[in-house]
Chains A and B, each alone.
Chain A
């Protein structure tokens, strides 16, 4: 009887924190395969730093996907607001101005995405794709197709993306703080409940008196804010923006991180900590390629296998639970 109880308790823990177990399994396997080198803090801090930009976008993306939406504009928007950041920073304005303008511009683009999706009733896939194409084109125009460098003698701005507090990389701290705030919003506030309700059943949410359009717009503004913050991290690393390669494919990496983290593509279900782990797992691939000196041509294969395994392990018995 007690064994059954223990089994059911373990089943519940496994069911609730599946992605954490998946992460631990991957961590142990990778560490064993590299004779301990993978698991060192030096290596892990590299992985966590590199995961932060995509991770921050993915945090916002989690809200959009839980609410039943999708944002394909995040990568180009990162480049677009990043170019504004670089121009203002390069022009010598106090750092606070480029940071605020960059984040505000990204929130503004999120608002435009949300308004068009809800008011014009056009599917999010099409709206955000179109906005992404526009954002990339505007970036190319602003930068005239070049890579534009800001004031890279400013060591303070470099600290945002490259510095650490103790041995913890700054981008990781930003991602974790944001993750805590967004977890509170998602799980402890009415807004979070409304977002989940809209994603579960839009009509039922509407009949319950929830302003569905408003909730959807807010989710696009949240992903906008996260993209703006990610742009600040990314731009502060290199103090340069490339009109073509900055943010390239980030939207898909962010969506992948969200899905690997256990958020349902159909909406209504997901966790912030799952997304953080999803983003870190994606970085495991690049790191393991180097650690194990695997042929560069097999990067896609390894990435595919890890995504498949993570989603498979994370979704086992979901229907049963």
Chain B
């Protein structure tokens, strides 16, 4: 440094004023960064730092995206490895002085200062880069918290809707006894077990959350009209297939009309087999005879009919039971399977007991899906 003592004092005071400005800027920047709600808020900090340094230009890139206007000569630069680097002067371009500071997901650059950047300028840029990195991380964490809150709100909404549409108790058709369980895997399920008049309906809606809960509501509200049709499957498909197709969902469904005289009409749309236990202990599986709702809509859906004698049982369930899993002795995963359900059904004649035995048996297995089970017994043609 050359010049008179006055020059020396003046340059020292200028340096002091620069440092004071930087301290003031950073002190305010920290408070603003803490209050930042969006990555774009960081841009104004960079622009103000540019003013404090007396630079002519600044740029910020985060996550591979430039958040500021950026000249082509800088855009072509790779992310800096070192804390600062100097570019050769492009023809007609900016002066060579440049400070570029990388941080975890980006970098910040300042250029165009008429004099070389001072050590204080570099420290300011580095501190700002650190602040931006911390703020960006905090914003990401905040966004993650918001996403989690939205999801939790969705789940609460879905659970509310689901509780509104799923009756807490079944209204059992005359002449029948039912022992049942509907246990969602989470706070809201995709399973449905309801009665509508003489019909008992069990369904497993694909997906979870609000969409599944809303669809369950639609299905329940459609049932009163659908059961009036001779072809229940077609009535449900006409009402619900377009919606399911649009939202990319589907549902399996088994519906059983439990007539007082023991006749049972039944429709099975892609649902696991309904099991019938006859008087002699023989178990018959009634498989699906139509695709699930929301996959391939048919013009007509087959309706089967059979007759129960007093004391005979029906067992309906969702795949939460049949596809419960565990590690087999050979190390492979095995499913509870329909054959185990059939074996238990064959051994029991009383619905409450069969229900208890099945729910006890599956406790040794991992039930990861909604679990629904209903055991129905025909009691005989009772007087109304």
> Are chains A and B native binding partners rather than an unrelated pairing?
no
